[in-house]
Structure 1
């Protein structure tokens, strides 16, 4: 594990830490060699105050007011109470607005397309406007986001945020295509989205939030929504660093395939103007993890020695921030399969999370098509992966849909009362990842390998019975349940 954490700055100063975890050994005979690494970025000290003049946050609440929100009546009431709870949390001076969404987008508060500054008077007026909302019409989420973008563009607050609530699927995409709107909104604001009721689409919410660097969530009981909104707003108000850039400088013969956020949720990152600079949004005191993928060509490169593939650096534009030094990502070309077949334990952890999400999505699709047997099989695979990762919370959520007979072997039985909405709740829950192995327990590092990282240590190895991989010291494959031979 390579660590470059800057700590111990002056009181009130923000500090940033950077760690890189990788297994540096790659086969020189591989057809398309790729180096994967996990970057851990930590920000501390954002609660010190005194770094910002004026409001940091500009907030838009987008409330679904389509006709489906009228039944049951508790649904619209919960949405109104949640919006009011969020409004009450806004500090004085915060620009805010409420958007009423159906097949179009309209202003609920204020009554013109602009934003108001939070005060006792404007909060009270906004509450009255929210309680007066009437549902009717269809659903065009693209229109809601487009109006939100136009409102936030006129604000000078460094962090723009949209809190979107819906109980349905996007019905009028031809009116305002969601794909085009997401491209227009990307980088302009962060969007968190919530599903309520039983008609929303979890994959659609993930498509929005991954593009806009937010998270997708849902509630099973309408009455729980206001408290969830309060908690989300409390977390949001601790974020005072508008953006943090991660720069990846590739060496000759190396290219950057991608950089994506994998913890606490998955988010898409696009390099600015085709460079290796990736901008992340809205930070408080927190740690996020990113998966970096590099392509490398071993032709003409020395073997059996460490070579620098890329340099990773972090930067906070315009901020008085204590930064860590740039860190290298290394490669060690080898023809020894005992080394090249390993994978870093942190990389494998997040790839297992991705496979779990894919299994849940496949199960959802199978259930929708009436293939209960296939849905059961995919949920069994999800249970295997959750068990292998030690993701007890994920197993508990899976247990709402299946009876888990043997998680390690993937034997589950779909519950007869499983509903389509249960799968949607599972989709959003599965998008929230766990932190993964602690620093220093990966299969290798840019510093030359963590203790015990060789065969049988913290890395992973391929399973001989399936395409999956397993921790080097595991007795069973987490993907297929194959029992490994005992090592002498």
Structure 2
């Protein structure tokens, strides 16, 4: 279906809301395009023919000595949808063509043996816990205590058979468990041994995140598990980067493991966490109270165990005259998948899938020179494939012990050059939605910089813009963080007042949460924004200084005002 210049090309294995191989009525051609060679047309096995989507294998066979990866009785189903603005002005020269790719995976059963008390192994996952043990972690002492407890909580959540290791991070990196040799499979004995090693960790030294990630990557590379994962905790800044520059480390390990990172305390650097996680396929988080960390770790490990599909590739096959600018993940968090190129095909690797939806923004540069007006021209073809399958054919070979996957047909990205100014000005709601999310993140970062430099009026103006954008986007998480910093008088207009007692660390939380995005309009164009600003759960205003404080606090941590006891509703 095509309305107001918005194209939503759907395809994929019967997933709800996605193509199912039925003919598209557009132009009477199955697959939704022209039948003329070189013009836009759906392609790929099963496209427009009613034939089932191909089944392929995902993930490499495990190394010797490890158990086979989980095999589902009914393979997971992958869906692919492309939504774009297709009309561009013919007189504008070379221009960018933006599309939103929605990839949905359903039917993933999770990692077998996910019950820590069960006997079944979970060989798909390998876990490295990286704990910041720099000197700042003992100021106050409860930070290092909470970090130890969180690491132990994560260990207890790992299913039996899961290879794991614990890395102590300072200006150096040290494997505290196992004391020697490769990663150990989780069991009652190895968990107990690792727990003793964790509680023996002492804080002292500096911070070099590059060393931490390098050691974690080496441990995971030796293990060779299909889903390698790092869980990193830090309370500070990368002050000893010169010992192992992070830029080079990220270049080396991007695409080879997933890293989720947590900030704790009041001195951590949000941009550092975002930089690491955006390159390593993960997400950045933070806790305000040290006591929240163990349960947060438990939730993260539980969610990780629901991901048993190791990886998929998004492949973009470029048509002559088209140039690819970028593909970036936009939902549920922002990130930059690593890419490899083979002729016209450019592959982007995505890691560790469960039953979920992810959305990506694809940007192509197209040129109207020598092109006809009013014709659908294929700028690129997008497909979801398993690693190792030949370009243009998403079906891969099924190898013993691998996880079979039902893949969607490929989908075209189309451009139509027009001299109609009305058509040329039409927008796509989904593209606009994620453009505003990026604007929100940029605005928050500028506000943080202005506040740090003492330009409070500029910071307030920018925070007002951020509130207006978050309100329009329906971004409740960001609105909640913004309400800690400003009192919101009119969210739509961005009328805000800076609260007393705001500190720079409040902006670090805001920057981190700004990387967590909302899904945006659905394929039928329904908007996601226009939500009501809601009170932040568990917070209240101090009646004396008006700073937001926990509703359970007995006194205000900012002005020390004694707070009235909270009265529970009957």
Pairwise TM-score range, normalised by the shorter structure? 0.7 to 0.9
Contact 1:247 1:277 in 2 (8 A): yes
Task: Please give the per-residue CA displacement for 1:61-108, whole angstroms capped at 9, x wherever unaligned.
Answer: 000000100011211111111101100011111110000001110111
Structure 1 SS opposite 2:351: strand
Map 1:341-380; keep pairs closer than 5 Å.
341-380=425-464
What is aligned with 1:479? none
Map 1:233-252; keep pairs closer than 5 Å.
233-252=301-320
Stretches of structure 2 that go unaligned for 5 or more consecutive residues are 1-7, 16-51, 53-71, 114-119, 388-397, 531-570
1:171 equivalent among 239, 243, 257: 239
Structure 2 SS opposite 1:41: strand
Contact 1:403 1:415 in 2 (8 A): yes
Partners of 1:46 and 1:213 lie apart in 2 by 19
Contact 1:54 1:157 in 2 (8 A): no
TM-score (norm 2): 0.76
Task: Please give the per-residue CA displacement for 1:26-76, whole angstroms capped at 9, x wherever unaligned.
Answer: 111224311100000011111077899960011000000001000112111
Tell whether 2:333 aligns with 1:265. yes
2:217 equivalent among 149, 160, 180: 149
Structure 2 SS opposite 1:342: coil
RMSD of the alignment, in Å? 2.1
Stretches of structure 1 that go unaligned for 5 or more consecutive residues are 443-457, 460-470, 474-488
Which runs of structure 1 show a deviation greater than 6 angstroms over 4 or more consecutive aligned residues?
A: 48-54
Instruction: Give the C-alpha shift of residue 305 in structure 1.
Output: 2.0
Structure 2 SS opposite 1:373: helix
Instruction: Give the C-alpha shift of residue 270 in structure 1.
Output: 3.3
2:10 equivalent among 3, 19, 23: 3
What is aligned with 1:453? none
1:405 equivalent among 458, 482, 489: 489
What is aligned with 2:417? 333
What is aligned with 1:70? 138
Contact 1:12 1:46 in 2 (8 A): no
Partners of 1:91 and 1:393 lie apart in 2 by 31
Partners of 2:273 and 2:329 lie apart in 1 by 17
What is aligned with 1:477? none
Contact 1:66 1:136 in 2 (8 A): yes
Map 1:46-445; keep pairs closer than 5 Å.
46-47=108-109, 55-112=123-180, 114-273=182-341, 275-317=345-387, 319-441=403-525
Structure 1 SS opposite 2:149: helix
1:27 equivalent among 89, 107, 115: 89
Contact 2:314 2:347 in 1 (8 A): yes
Larger radius of gyration: 2
TM-score (norm 1): 0.88
Task: Please give the per-residue CA displacement for 1:202-250, whole angstroms capped at 9, x wherever unaligned.
Answer: 0110000000010000001111111110010001111111110011111
Structure 1 SS opposite 2:201: coil
Contact 2:463 2:496 in 1 (8 A): yes
Instruction: Give the C-alpha shift of residue 371 in structure 1.
Output: 1.1
What is aligned with 1:12? 74
Instruction: Give the C-alpha shift of residue 115 in structure 1.
Output: 1.1
**Number of aligned positions between the proteins:** 446
Contact 2:254 2:338 in 1 (8 A): no
Contact 2:121 2:162 in 1 (8 A): no
Instruction: Give the C-alpha shift of residue 12 in structure 1.
Output: 2.5
